[in-house]
Amino acid sequence: MGQVQREEIAQRARRYLEGALGFEEFMRLAPEQTDDDDIAELVDLIEHEPKRGGFLGASEREYVAHMTRIRELVDKLSS
């Protein structure tokens, strides 16, 4: 994927994180297959975003690490 596609995916991910784009819509717009490792990782992380706390949920530390990686990839895809 080219830089324009990377920026579009980053923008959609940012909108998802802000709550302006729902999970289903993000996944519908995400590429099903890509040769871009960063895009593939971003989509996978969003698809497998852990439940926060509670029974079988991620610890606060695990959740923060997961979300931090998503934001790092969004920043990388935006530049």
Structure confidence by residue, pLDDT tens digits, 40-61: 999 999 999 998 887 888 899 9
> What is the average pLDDT score of the chain?
93
pTM: 0.89
User: What gap in Å lies between CA 24 and CA 76, rounded to an integer?
Assistant: 23
Q: For position 40, what pLDDT does the model report?
A: 97
User: What gap in Å lies between CA 54 and CA 63, rounded to an integer?
Assistant: 12
Burial of residue 13 (CB within 10 Å: 0-12, 13-18, 19+) is: buried
